[in-house]
Amino acid sequence: MSNLTEIRWHGRGGQGAKTAALLLADVAFQTGKYVQGFPEYGPERMGAPITAYNRISDEVIRVHSNIYDPQYVVVVDESLLETVDVTAGLKEDGAILINTERPKEEIIPQLKGYKGSVHTIDAKKVSLATLGKYFPNTPLLAAIVKVAGIMDKDVFLKEMKASFEHKFASKPEVIEGNMKALEMAFEEVQ
């Protein structure tokens, strides 16, 4: 399948990895792509490790399984580097994006010899500066769009604004903060 992008998200219950995967699928769909966005369910509870997935393509997606060999991995909580093999199956011509305050040089030794591209963003800093609370999924969503080149920044921001306006119709104050978080994340991702 040409132009198929596969992303695996690693987070903890309550951090928004599932929501980010679903939002990415929705926004990509609005731009005419074929999409899948889904979580892997198990005995999740607040704080337990969870996995979510995205497939984005210009063609119909006929596979309906978890993603075992993604081009991209997003790590919402860096503590998962110690307990989950986040690089399992990750293609070396892709990239890993990690939410961390640390420089990537400190993170690379924890990636089990992964030789592909490593990107970082301090989603906590972005989230606190723009939203006043820690919601890592919004900055990570923009960061993976940039890292993976999923769509043009302006198209992404336009579609996300429309999505937020629908989702937060009764809370318009939330829209501005989330939009600022997306824009700041595009600049902050390393």
Gyration radius (Cα) of the chain, Å:
15
Please determine, for residue 1, whether its predicted confidence score (pLDDT) is greater than 80: no
**Which stretch of DSSP H or E encloses residue 95?**
strand 95-99
Per-residue pLDDT tens over the stretch 111-129: 988 999 999 999 999 999 9
Residues of the chain with pLDDT > 90, as a percent, come to 67
How high is the pLDDT of residue 45? 66
Instruction: Report the 10 Å Cβ neighbour count for 84.
Output: 14
What are the residues facing 14 on neighbouring strands?
none
Pairwise CA distance, residues 50 & 57, whole Å: 24
3-class secondary-structure state, position 166 = helix
Residue entry with tokens 């503590």: 79
Span 78-87, mean pLDDT? 92
What's the pLDDT band for 168 if we cut at 50, 70, 90?
Answer: confident
